[in-house]
Amino acid sequence: MAEKKELYGYEEEDIVTLEFDDGEEEECGILGVFEALGKEYIALNPLGTEDVYIYGYKEYEEDYEMTEIEDEEEFKKVVSEFEKLAVEEA
């Protein structure tokens, strides 16, 4: 029998697996895709935690790409925008 995965309230299609440079993997639930600074970003929640990861996001016809936000000022502004959206949702 297949092992049942704990989904922490997410639908299975709303879970992505991040693969880090050191070979580690982490499953995350998609909190949402949002726009800030004229670009799209994605907010992810590592399963079983209260952490939030934010990445740049581009969607293509049948695929998507996530990129790290390397500019500290951009990251601060994007986090601020995400926090505003999260408060509005609550």
User: Could you write out the DSSP letters of every residue in 48-89?
Assistant: TS---EEEEEEE-SS-EEEE----HHHHHHHHHHHHHHHHHH
Cα pseudo-dihedral 47, 9, 84, 51, rounded to 10: -10
Distance CA 27, CA 20 (A): 11
Q: What is the pLDDT of residue 1?
A: 43
pTM > 0.85: yes or no = yes
Q: What 8-state DSSP symbol labels residue 23?
A: S
pLDDT in tens, the chain (90 residues): 445 567 788 898 899 999 989 999 999 999 999 999 999 999 999 999 999 999 999 999 989 999 999 999 999 999 999 999 888 766
